[in-house]
Structure 1
Amino acid sequence: MLRRCVFLMLLLSLAACSNGRKIDYSQAYPEVPKTFAKAVDVQVIDERPYVLSGNKTGHFVGLIRGSYYIPYDVNTRSGEPLAQELQKSLLGGFERKGVKARAVDSKVSQASSADAMLLSIRVREWKSESFMGVVLTHALTADVFDSRGQRLASVPLQGSSSVYDFTDSGKTILSSVLARQDVQKALNGEQVEVVEAAEIEAGSVRRDPAGLFTPPVARDGVF
């Protein structure tokens, strides 16, 4: 009887671990502050170094720590790349506001027509970490291009904080992109001056240690 109880507890523990290793960002619909005079082409490009190097796949979104602080990968619930899930969320946010929007692939470098603007999100970091607490660290750059390929806005955004709901956290991050006045003006066709591309320096993205309570000598687990 005792052996059966131990076996059942082990199965439940494994199931909980498995369920905790999937996150859905596809419905993290951002708040769109206004309607725009132009349609929006939406592009999300995954530039996370460990994905570009092949160390992690595109559907990797974080780490969960087990015994002895051993890291296990957390992936998207759908199995789709993170870039695709974030793109779906942005499209959903625009559609809910009544803004005409469509998905474009990562190779596009200009808006599809004079009546549209290209919103390009370059993701430098997007990773949750769970141990004694959960934090989500992000770094991304939002660029807006017109139909001639001119960059009319370029905004870097980054941060790291405790997570209580991954969908809400994703929504907050994407909403902060659309809350920027320069992004709004560019999407609405008001901005006409060309700007330089904003870049996030390598090594500048730091995990918030306060919400995680990790051992001081622990390694990241992502290379």
Structure 2
Amino acid sequence: MEQQMTRKNWSAWCLGLVAITTAMLLTGCIGTYPQSLAMVKPEITGDLSGPLRVEVIDNRPYVQSGDKTSQFLGTRHRAMIWGIPENIINASAKPVAQELGDIVASSLRQRGAVLCPSESADMKCKAAKLVKLTLHDWRFSWSRNSELMVDAELAVSDDANTILAKTRVTTRAPLQRPDVQKDFQTQLERLLNQPEIRSALQ
């Protein structure tokens, strides 16, 4: 009788495990893991002046499709749960586009630029240049083969919507650490410090 009960318990445990595993596979992940961007502080060379506006567009296909949330930063795989990925999300709970917009604005402000809100009646903001960052890909994967995947475009336009300068960086590179803040900072610096962008920001 005891052996029969043990077999029943074992069968029930196996069925439960199969059900849980199936649910995990169907949802694609089994939870979330926060990643801070608080230390992403790109350094811009030279001094700036004049009013600027910052806009970030999240055009990442996995966000646009609804497969991932606007806070999505990547995935990590844990061997203890058969490599099923966890979503990595922005720890502040802000959308990634909003967070990066705040980061870029802060860096521009530190170099002397006057930052204007999107809608402003202030006369000094009427001639503000627009610094527009478009995210086509912005994520990382932390696993046995960790990667940083970035495809982003930065454009500067004047108050007549004429594009003064545009640049794009595309990166798919191995990662050496799970905290990717420095890696993301480097990509923003590559965009902001392009000579044509620097000239347009003056």
Asked if Structure 1 and Structure 2 have the same fold, meaning a TM-score greater than 0.5 normalized by the shorter chain, the answer is yes
Query: Alignment partner of 1:147: what SS?
Result: coil
Counterpart pick for 1:80 among 82, 94, 98: 94
> Which stretch shows the higher mean deviation, 68-77 or 156-165?
156-165
* Contact preservation (8 Å) 1:26, 1:88: no
* Contact preservation (8 Å) 2:48, 2:111: no
- For residues 154-188 of structure 1, the C-alpha deviation after alignment (integer angstroms, 9 at most, x for no partner) is 21111022153422112111111111011111111
- Determine which structure has the larger helix proportion and give its number: 2
Counterpart pick for 1:160 among 172, 175, 190: 172
- Give 1 or 2 for the bigger CA radius of gyration: 2
1: CA distance, partners of 2:51 / 2:39: 21
- For residues 51-71 of structure 1, the C-alpha deviation after alignment (integer angstroms, 9 at most, x for no partner) is 111111100110011232211
Unaligned 5+ segments in structure 2 are: 1-29
**Counterpart amino acid of residue 69 in structure 1:** G
Give the TM-score normalised by structure 1: 0.68
Counterpart pick for 1:38 among 23, 30, 50: 50
**Counterpart amino acid of residue 184 in structure 1:** R
Counterpart pick for 1:132 among 144, 155, 163: 144
Q: Which residue of 2 aligns with 1:5?
A: none
Shift of 1:91: 1.6
Unaligned 5+ segments in structure 1 are: 1-16, 106-110, 189-223
Q: Which residue of 1 aligns with 2:198?
A: 184
Q: Which residue of 1 aligns with 2:69?
A: 57
Shift of 1:112: 4.5
2: CA distance, partners of 1:39 / 1:166: 31
* Contact preservation (8 Å) 2:148, 2:172: yes
* Contact preservation (8 Å) 2:51, 2:125: no
Q: State the identity %.
A: 24
1:92 equivalent in alignment to 2:106: yes
* Contact preservation (8 Å) 1:125, 1:140: yes
* Contact preservation (8 Å) 1:27, 1:92: no
Give the TM-score normalised by structure 2: 0.74
Counterpart pick for 1:104 among 115, 118, 125: 118
Counterpart pick for 1:121 among 127, 133, 151: 133
2: CA distance, partners of 1:65 / 1:129: 8
Aligned residues: 165
2: CA distance, partners of 1:86 / 1:103: 15
